Amino acid sequence: MGSTEASPPVSGSFERSELVARLDGCECVPLTLLLAPAGSGKSTLLHQWQQHLSATRPEAHVVSFAVQPMDDEPVRCLRRFAEQTRAAIPAFDTSWFMPFDVSELPASSVAEALYDALEQIPEPVYIVFDDFQYITNDEALNVINALIAHPPTDVRLIIASRSRPPLDVGRLRLNGELLELDASALRVSRAEVVELNSRLGGEPLEGGELDHLMAITEGWVAGVKIALMGAMGAGVGALNNFNASQPEIMEYFGHAVLKGLPEFARTLFMQSSLLDSFDAPLCDAVLDTTYSARLMEELSRRELFILAVPGRPGWFRYHALLRDFLQARVAIDMPDCVVPIHRRAARYFIAKEDYEQALWHARRGEDHEAFLGALARAFDYWLREGYASQILEWAEDVSDEALLSRMDLAAPLISTLTLSRRFFRARYFLDALKAEPPLDYRGRYGDEHTLEFLELHLQLFQHDTDFMEGANLSLLMETSSHHDVRAFSLAMVAYYHLQHGRLQSALAFSSQARDVLMQLGHRFTAGYAGLITALANQQLGHIAEAVSFITEHFSKTPRDCPTWSLWATGMVVVLYDQNRLDEARQLCEDLLPMVSTASATEVISTVYLTLSRLHHLQGNRKHSERMLEKLLGILQLGNYERFVSMALLERVRQAYVNADWSQLDVIAERFALAEWVQKNLDLQDVPYSQSWERRGLAAAYWLMAVGRHDDAETALLLLRKVVNGAGIRTRGLIMEANLLVLHARRKSETEQIRQIDTLISRYGLLNVNQPVFDEAPGLAALMQALWQKGRLVLPEFYTQLFGAVFTSVTTGHAPLEVDPASVLTPREHEIFELLQSGLSNAQISEQTGTSVTTTKWHLKNIYSKLGVSNRTEAVLRASTR
């Protein structure tokens, strides 16, 4: 049974078998609500039920999602949910469900995507939301409501909350499709109280004391435990005088917990409640003591509701009820210490570079300027390390006036907004700064050229290849004396040259930028510059250098580091080039929940395009088309013609390989491929641009599909000339390979072998890899057929590396086993000959005087009789006879 990690029950827990059996009824209804106040044992019950489910239904999956207060933000909440579901259920396909910005999507669309993703899982799935009371955001609630309205087939939803969530459950209740367990259902029984007392090591309970305890606690688990622990020191007789109403429970904390501690421990106990979690060094520094370690030992010995923090040895936190009580007592008994403790805690966490905790305390330190100073340090650190989401989240909690009052707040925010493709928001802040520059220019951004740099930064990423000439950036580097501005400008120039295919320049600038950025501590941007270096090497044909560079940095970068996504993106390219397709897919699926509005467009496009191509290779056409449509939807947020052209090329390529001529015609019309042909076919000299080249190759596929082979050859020759002129060897190889396939139908086997040998000699055998086989449709089948006959000699390591081409493809692309003339009718044979000559369905219909529908029907019969699956395979296999 797959499951996310669940927290073990707290010390002194007891088995609740009857309640587990009731909760087991959740398998019969789409929704179960577990509603009770804090301390009622909801989490313990869920843990015991999960153990029971694991033993009785091991095939089922459980996704346990412990909601946190910070999850009351829909993108964070749904992203965390997708990540945890993926961890629990490997079959959960994150390509189906990973919303980019819930606020910009209707809840019904997000819920539909989640529904589709969950429907793909063949086994039963139980989704458990614990502490659901933290979810109050309308967008997140609307997604859950939409999912409840149309639940997936074999998915059960269990929601545990301290308060009734605002969900539309009326219909489910009326239809008997809702299981509800409230506080009364969670009340402990007499037998359970006896068991709990025994586990705590208490004296045996007499009948009278047990009756009294049951009456005054009304079965509330936390109250029972508090009362029993109190009786351990005062004797079971004390239970007769114990008042279990909530104020008296709080009073119990004061008398039985605090009063029993030495004076030093009581003071530290109360003051440490101002910390969310703590260890001894933190308490010593913030509470100005040396006794923190002794305090924790004493509290742990007494089991005074101090809990270990999972995954952080030596760190503890208080039970939420106890912490609330202690904080209230601090505010009453020693109010003068509250603000100083928060201020010292803020300074402590700043020194540790734990800025989330630092800002939480700084905000409660009642010093606005100190808070803004801490925020500036946090922004600087997060920008350098690549934690864009933290900058965006904290900026939402601070007024625009405050953000614009300091350049060390405004500048990193604008940079982050730009890199996160929130261009309009970045423009708003930048224009406000220009209209009224802040008086405070200190820190890394204390330079008169900062605004100019931010303007160029925004224009580069917003307008992509339409960005102004790079001379402006060069001028900025020459005039600015600020190291950060100069270093960032180097990286921007490198990116600009990469966009325009000036690879040697991109390589030179990116290498220099990376060295300088590392020296300045900008590790994330240095990683981005490093990725530019690798991509430039890869496109120049320096494959060994690119692979070595990417592999080294990917292997030594921790997964929780933001730069991991950059190196992982490069690693996806490496794995795909090396035909390690399963590893490439796994890495893409690991990356998918991480790519968001704070990710570089290169990362997003690479992940989506690669996953689409992998799905297509495995025959999952629905999945592959879905990935491309989602990518095109994302790219609508900005001026991304370059990335749109990549998605267009892949859509055309897949339609061409599938012989889906009607779909190909629709795409060609949508993206005006005929206009590209008309405008470019007679040109002799064209400056390179990536979008022009990708659109041109898409046009060449379309020309081949409609039988315009001479025009397709002209287009490919032009493309080859332009990409070779720019020195982009990887693209030149692809154009050469397409020309080879185009000519092969008119060449003898000897001539075909000579052309393949020339291609290998010119570009290197290992550069004829999976992307080349993909983007030169027919090359793999041609090489495989010649290799199978023994005419094409290839090293064994190469045929093993590309086993999908030289092994599994054997049966699919071997020469035809039957003579078409012997199995086809005269009309079918006529159509087959026209097919071989390269005519489209419409042209065949015109030649034969039949409708397009009839032609398609004949082609379907022809494919079946010849044992092939599509037009391309029929032509290639027939040409090898």
Higher pLDDT, 263 or 814: 263
Q: Cα-Cα-Cα-Cα dihedral of 287, 292, 298, 299, to 10°?
A: 50
Residues 64 and 173 in one domain: yes
Residue-level pLDDT at 414: 92
**Paired strand residues for 156:** 126
Residues 107 and 196 in one domain: no
Mean pLDDT value across residues 647-675: 90
Instruction: Tell me the per-residue pLDDT of 337-370, one tens digit each, with 9 for 90 and over.
Output: 999 999 999 999 999 999 999 999 999 999 999 9
Residue with tokens 């939402």: 396
Residue-by-residue DSSP string for 487-550: HHHHHHHHHHHHHTT-HHHHHHHHHHHHHHHHHHT-HHHHHHHHHHHHHHHHHTT-HHHHHHHH
Residues 33 and 138 in one domain: yes
Residues 102 and 80 in one domain: yes
Banded pLDDT at 332 (limits 50, 70, 90)? confident
**Residue 172 lies inside a defined structural domain of this protein:** yes
Residue-level pLDDT at 652: 93
Range of the domain at 43: 17-181
Banded pLDDT at 779 (limits 50, 70, 90)? very high
Instruction: Tell me the per-residue pLDDT of 158-182, one tens digit each, with 9 for 90 and over.
Output: 999 877 888 888 888 888 889 999 8
Q: Above 70 in pLDDT, residue 643?
A: yes
Please give the share of the chain, as a percent, with pLDDT higher than 70.
85
**Residue 89 lies inside a defined structural domain of this protein:** yes
Residue-level pLDDT at 113: 78
**Domain closes at, from 244, 270, 290:** 244
Q: Above 60 in pLDDT, residue 442?
A: no
List the CATH number of the domain containing 137: 3.40.50.300
Asked if residue 535 lies in contact with residue 544, where contact means CB atoms within 8 angstroms, the answer is no
Rounded Cα distance between 499 and 74, Å, is 34
Residues 137 and 222 in one domain: no
Banded pLDDT at 715 (limits 50, 70, 90)? very high
Q: Above 50 in pLDDT, residue 48?
A: yes
Q: Above 60 in pLDDT, residue 475?
A: no
Residue-level pLDDT at 611: 92
**Domain closes at, from 774, 796, 813:** 813
Instruction: Tell me the per-residue pLDDT of 482-529, one tens digit each, with 9 for 90 and over.
Output: 667 777 888 888 888 887 788 888 899 899 889 988 988 888 889 888
Q: Above 70 in pLDDT, residue 630?
A: yes
Q: Above 90 in pLDDT, residue 443?
A: no
Q: Above 80 in pLDDT, residue 236?
A: no
Q: Above 90 in pLDDT, residue 599?
A: no
Mean pLDDT value across residues 733-750: 90
List the CATH number of the domain containing 827: 1.10.10.10
Higher pLDDT, 191 or 99: 191
C-alpha 426: how far from its chain's center? 23
Q: Which amino acid is at 110?
A: V
Q: What is the CA radius of gyration of the chain?
A: 33
Banded pLDDT at 790 (limits 50, 70, 90)? confident
Residues 73 and 154 in one domain: yes
Higher pLDDT, 639 or 279: 279
Residues 89 and 209 in one domain: no
Among 68-82, 411-425, 506-520, 679-693, the least confident range: 68-82
Residue-level pLDDT at 253: 66
Mean pLDDT value across residues 603-610: 90
Mean pLDDT value across residues 789-811: 77
Mean pLDDT value across residues 407-420: 88
End-to-end CA gap in the chain: 53
Residues 827 and 867 in one domain: yes
**Domain closes at, from 220, 244, 268:** 244
Non-local CB neighbours of 710 within 8 Å, separated by 6+ positions: none
Residues 27 and 175 in one domain: yes
Residue-by-residue DSSP string for 602-662: HHHHHHHHHHHHHHHHTT-HHHHHHHHHHHHHHHTTS--HHHHHHHHHHHHHHHHHTT-HH
Q: Above 80 in pLDDT, residue 10?
A: no
Residues 170 and 238 in one domain: no
Rounded Cα distance between 839 and 846, Å, is 10
Q: How many CB atoms lie within 10 A of CB 881?
A: 9
Number of domains in the chain: 4
SS3 labels along 314-375: CCEEECHHHHHHHHHHHHHHCHHHHHHHHHHHHHHHHHCCCHHHHHHHHHCCCCHHHHHHHH
Mean pLDDT value across residues 201-220: 75
**CA distances (Å), 749 to each of 323, 333, 685, 709, 743, in order?**
82, 95, 34, 20, 11
Rounded Cα distance between 865 and 829, Å, is 11
Residue-level pLDDT at 810: 38
Banded pLDDT at 409 (limits 50, 70, 90)? very high
**Residue 834 lies inside a defined structural domain of this protein:** yes
**Residue 765 lies inside a defined structural domain of this protein:** yes
Dihedral (CA of 212, 216, 218, 220) sign: negative
Residue-level pLDDT at 835: 80
Report if pTM > 0.95: no
Element holding 879 (H helix, E strand):
helix 871-879
Q: Cα-Cα-Cα-Cα dihedral of 844, 845, 850, 852, to 10°?
A: 120
Per the prediction, the chain carries an average pLDDT of 82
Residues 21 and 169 in one domain: yes
Residue-by-residue DSSP string for 437-459: --SB--GGG-STTHHHHHHHHHH
Residue-level pLDDT at 254: 66
**Residue 359 lies inside a defined structural domain of this protein:** no
Q: Above 80 in pLDDT, residue 223?
A: no
User: Which residue from 733, 705, 739, 738 is spatially nearest to 875, judged by alpha carbons?
Assistant: 705
Instruction: Tell me the per-residue pLDDT of 820-855, one tens digit each, with 9 for 90 and over.
Output: 776 777 778 888 888 877 677 878 888 888 877 778
**CA distances (Å), 870 to each of 15, 654, 707, in order?**
62, 12, 16
Q: H helices then E strands: how many in the chain?
A: 48, 7
Asked if residue 121 lies in contact with residue 92, where contact means CB atoms within 8 angstroms, the answer is yes
Among 236-250, 523-537, 696-710, the least confident range: 236-250
Residues 224 and 123 in one domain: no
**Residue 354 lies inside a defined structural domain of this protein:** no
